[in-house]
Structure 1
Amino acid sequence: MTSLQDTGSHDLQRAYRQARLSRDPRFDGIFFVAVISTGIFCRPICPARLPMEKNVRYYAVAAQALQDGFRPCLRCRPDSAPDSPAWRGVATTTDRAQRLLSELPAQPVSHVAQRLGISERYLHSLIRHHLGLTPKQVQIYSQLWFARKLLLQTRLTVTDIAAACGLQSARRLQDLMKKYWDKTPTMLRDNQPPSHHSAGISLFLPCQTPYNWPQVRDFLVAHCLERVEDVGDNHYARAFDWQESEGYIHAVFDARRCGFEVTLHLTDLQYIQPVMANLARMLDTNAQPAVIHEALSAAGISEQYLTEGLRFPGTWDAFEAGCRAIVGQQISFKAATSYINRLDNYIDKHNQFGAVFPTARDVVNQSQDFLKMPASRQRTLMAFADVCIQENAVPDTRTLLAVKGIGPWTCEYIELRGYNACDIYLNGDLIVRNMAKALSVTPDNAAPWRSYLTLQLWHIALEERAQSAKQKQKKQETV
């Protein structure tokens, strides 16, 4: 197996050494520290006594440490670290391959290669070169890693956990754990009795620190789907449909642990991991605040305007983002939020857990004038829903641009909030354009984090408007 020491990445080693010695939380989840003398690997924030550098090996991926025979630390729980972000410098195809191979339920390796547009043989070569693993090993370690998290964090039965990891039986899970870790599921779990998943599954979703929950909360409140979403002082909740499954998720922010205590109800357990990954994307838990801060400074945002721990909240899915973008064309976001709530209220869709946002098929089944907005925009909404049905998903930008009424701004908004793309600068947005001019910002200097520049400019404008309103009110009270 190849650790960072073997690759000759001296600059990385130096940075990781400094992060380990200082227990810098910004590096949590970005790399792991294995200790040769104990056979254990940890997060860089582990409170255990610091080992000597000569006994340390650094790994970019937890699976690499597992493959080399290191055991996860029971004190810092590497499975509880934030997911490593997709932007850490790995080649794009390799990174996407790793993410697809880590998805649950696991797909055949041939299907992953097909989605990547490469041959299965080249996929094997790519993963072997960068990770020192085969694609199948990446999938198995992902299944075992998630099983370990469920064993430690939930009261689910071993049978339910095996199903959630996409394994055929509890016996298969037990055999894999014994083969790769020389452990059994019961050895990882305390003596508390298991419970049925209908009571709700409790999981912890960690965030890269710092995480600005008030900024995220206020953004979600301003764009809230009143019938579907519940946003409170310290929580976010909603019901949802996920493929063949119905669910409800409730996430409470814990500032002390810098993460969310999540309660999840799901009718099909095999979708636990993708639903949690979707929540992490939506709440932008894996962004690197220090790197983003530097990029915004380089673009010309002065220190007084920078928002610490800035995050870009997404939508639950890309179809919802597309609907928001289309009804919000050339109007204020308040008016857009009013329209999207009108759409949601009119269709009034539910599952067993509560109100859910309508699907593309629900939208096309409505009359042409059900929203009482400009006819051209309503035709665009219907056309968008229709093309999503034909493609069985929100199509790519090229296909969307062929739809009458959809332009670059709409596509960029879908990328921003539907997929949380990190490098979208909404130059076509009036507020963004005006604020960039007023602050003499150079957007290209923020690449590849221009999405956060867009958000920062929105945030500055919002704060200035609020400050102006306060001053106006104060002046009126004085008079």
Structure 2
Amino acid sequence: MTATPIQPEDTERFRQARLSRDSRFDGQFFVAVKSTGIFCRPVCPARLPKEENVDYYYHAAQAMHAGFRPCLRCRPDSAPLSGAWNGVNTTVKRAETLLSAIPPQPVTTIAERLGISERYLRKLISSRLGMPPAQWQKYQQLLFAKRLLQQSDMSVESVAAAAGFGSARRLQAAMKQTWSMSPGQIRGSKASGPDVTPVIKVMLYYRPPYNWEHVQHFLSGRAIAGTESVTDNTYRRVFSGPHGKGTVVAEHQPQHSAFAVTLVTDFLQGARAVLDNLSRVLDLHADPHLINQALTAAGIPPGDIVQGLRLPGVWSEFEAGCRAVLGQQVSVKAAVNNVALLVNELGEAAGEGSAFPLPQAVAGSDLAFLRMPGARKQALRNLAGFYAQDDRLTGAQGDKESTLLTLKGIGPWTIDYLMMRGVSDPDRYLSGDLIVRKVADKLNPEPQKAAPWRSYLTLQLWHMADQLKQEKPDA
């Protein structure tokens, strides 16, 4: 079974990136060294091997499937996610995401969620990734376990639980079978901590440049008091949902091109999902080089482009939808105040604060505490009623959007905002946004030329509007 081969043009790009240790390519491919049986990130500080001893892979799991074991020095499990599959159809991308989830779901269930047969799913994944779906799932679990063993002081039992293996014995057997190494050998001299409410500490890496100042300003201006907080170098979030309750704190460490993350949760098996969601909120897997090219192509003057621009996300789709509805026809400050009222009245205690309320709580409330028109309150209840029905969330993205648009009070702008920040869809241009229209009228950009990164064009225009306000404070 062979994965989609590396394209010739990619081979040359990867060769140059490997030799220069270009950090822009970190996570886009992996370097397997045939003479040592080890695979690395392109930024690995180890001595560069000869080209004839090297194989390239788009995914870490593909290198593992070919018989290579991960480098203990550069930690391939920590690399930003690959953008190599941007051109692949939506079903493959969704399948890859669902198969990477921990705890793993049965392949049959994933096929049902995708609306395809199990046989077709196996054929699709095998042809694209070079291995059966179950094998892909196992490799994702192993890579996450390795990450926790090397970066945290959790016990092997807790690591096994967090990676979805159920027991230390099963984790050890899987590592021995795949890498011929035990958890102890991977951990090395690092001591494990006591098995009490484990604190998970990991590094989440990104491709520089990363404009933390822009992300920090954007998130702090929209932070919900008691639920999230933003300081000069940290983002803190209280969460509650299907992946457990707890608190996560991310500290920016630009010298490492990473965030140092501390996660406290009551549900270890949900840890991977929480960390993945945090990576999405902070937009850690973006490729700033491609985004820069897209903004230039759309007509943004090079001197005005925000270097290292990122798309700050919202913790969940539902929360993003609520923010959009509560922000209709009011200022950002007024919208944040409305969101804070919603959390204060209906939020759930979690960690050291209040988590955003569940859809069921909003759908069942009269929302009398909100100072806004009755029609907007009903629109919020309509949105909550949709998200309260979990079966609605398993269908295709297009079907979901079509259904949302049938809800009274939910229009195209609300849907675009929800998808841009709640799902982190990179290709949403908010043409109906008042601020975007005002800046676009002056600049006359060509949004279609920014595809598939039009969400970043929206962020860029918002940023330019803020700059104009600072230059003309009385305007």
| 1:461 counterpart letter in structure 2 | A
In structure 1, the residue corresponding to 2:304 is in which secondary structure? coil
Aligned partner letter, 1:28 = D
Secondary structure of 2:239 counterpart:
strand
Q: Judge which range, 392-401 or 203-212, deviates more.
A: 392-401
Larger CA deviation: 428-437 vs 186-195: 186-195
- Equivalent position SS for 1:236: strand
* 1:261-318, Cα deviation, whole Å (9 max, x unpaired): 1110010100010000000011110011000000000000001110011001111111
1:225-240 equivalences under 5 Å are: 225-240=224-239
Q: CA deviation at 1:242?
A: 2.6
Alpha-carbon displacement from aligned partner over 1:173-218 (angstroms, at most 9, x marks no partner): 1111111111111111134143335252111111121111111000
**Residue 164, structure 1, aligned to residue 162, structure 2:** yes
Alpha-carbon separation, structure 1, partners of 2:390 and 2:155: 38
Superposed CA offset, 1:300-337 (max 9, x none): 00011100110011111111111110011122222212
Q: Give the equivalent residue in structure 2 for 1:287.
A: 286
Alignment partner of 1:123 out of 107, 121, 124:
121
What is the aligned partner in structure 1 of residue 435 from structure 2?
Answer: 431
* Counterpart mapping for 1:17-416 below 5 A: 17-85=15-83, 88-191=86-189, 192-198=191-197, 200-243=199-242, 245-391=244-390, 396-416=400-420
- Aligned residue for 1:262, secondary structure, equals strand
Q: Is the 8 A contact 2:205 2:259 kept in 1?
A: yes
Against the structure 1 CA distance between its residues 197 and 219, is the aligned structure 2 distance closer, same or farther, given a 3 Å change threshold?
farther
2:127 partner SS: helix
The 1-side partners of 2:329 and 2:198 are apart by 45
3-state DSSP of counterpart to 1:82: coil
CA RMSD of aligned residues (A): 1.8
**Alpha-carbon offset, residue 24 of structure 1:** 0.7
Partner-residue secondary structure (3-state), 2:236 = strand
Q: Any idea what the Cα deviations from partners look like across 1:337-356, whole Å, max 9, x if unmatched?
A: 22212222333531243221
The answer as to whether partners of 2:347 and 2:358 remain within 8 angstroms in 1 is: no
| Cα offset, 1:455, TM superposition | 0.5
CA offset at residue 86 of structure 1?
7.1
* 3-state secondary structure, aligned to 2:81: coil
> Closer, same or farther in 2 for the Cα pair 1:392/1:329, shift >3 Å?
farther
Structure 1 position 115, deviation (Å): 1.4
TM superposition score normalised by structure 2:
0.95
CA distance in 1, matches of 2:303, 2:229: 32
Residue 453, structure 1, aligned to residue 457, structure 2: yes
Aligned residue type for 2:305 = L
* Equivalent residues of 1:147, 1:161 under 8 A apart: yes
Report the 3-state secondary structure (helix = DSSP H, G, I; strand = E; otherwise coil) of the residue aligned with 1:223: coil
Q: Give how far 1:393 is off.
A: 6.3
Deviation, 1:14, is 0.9
Change (3 A) 1:334 1:393: farther
Segments of 5+ residues of structure 2 without an aligned counterpart are: none
CA distance in 2, matches of 1:244, 1:3: 32
Decide whether the 8 Å contact of 2:343 with 2:354 is kept in 1. no
Q: 1:44 to 1:368 in 2, by over 3 A?
A: closer
Residue pair 1:246, 1:353 contacting (<8 A) in 2 also = no
TM-score by length of 1: 0.94
Q: Give the partner amino acid of 1:205.
A: L
CA distance in 1, matches of 2:37, 2:387: 50
Structure 2 counterpart SS, 1:460? helix
* Partner AA of 2:41 in structure 1: R
Could you tell me how far apart the structure 1 residues matched to 2:173 and 2:132 are? 19
**Contact 2:2 2:127 (8 Å CA) reproduced:** no
Larger mean CA deviation between 214-223 and 163-172 belongs to 163-172
8 Å Cα contact 2:80-2:285 kept in structure 1: yes
Q: Is the 8 A contact 1:86 1:95 kept in 2?
A: no
Range with greater deviation from structure 2 (197-206 or 10-19): 197-206
Q: 1:372 to 1:8 in 2, by over 3 A?
A: closer
Report Cα offsets for 1:221-268 as digits up to 9, x if no partner.
111112211110000002111316211101100010111111100101
CA distance in 2, matches of 1:275, 1:465: 36
Gaps of 5+ in 1: 474-479
Match of 1:440 among 440, 444, 452: 444
Matched, 1:16 2:20: no
Tell me whether 252-261 or 345-354 shows the greater mean CA deviation.
345-354
Please tell me the residue identity of whatever aligns with 1:68.
A
In 2: Cα distance, 1:97 partner to 1:458 partner: 33
Distance 1:225 1:86, change over 3 A: farther
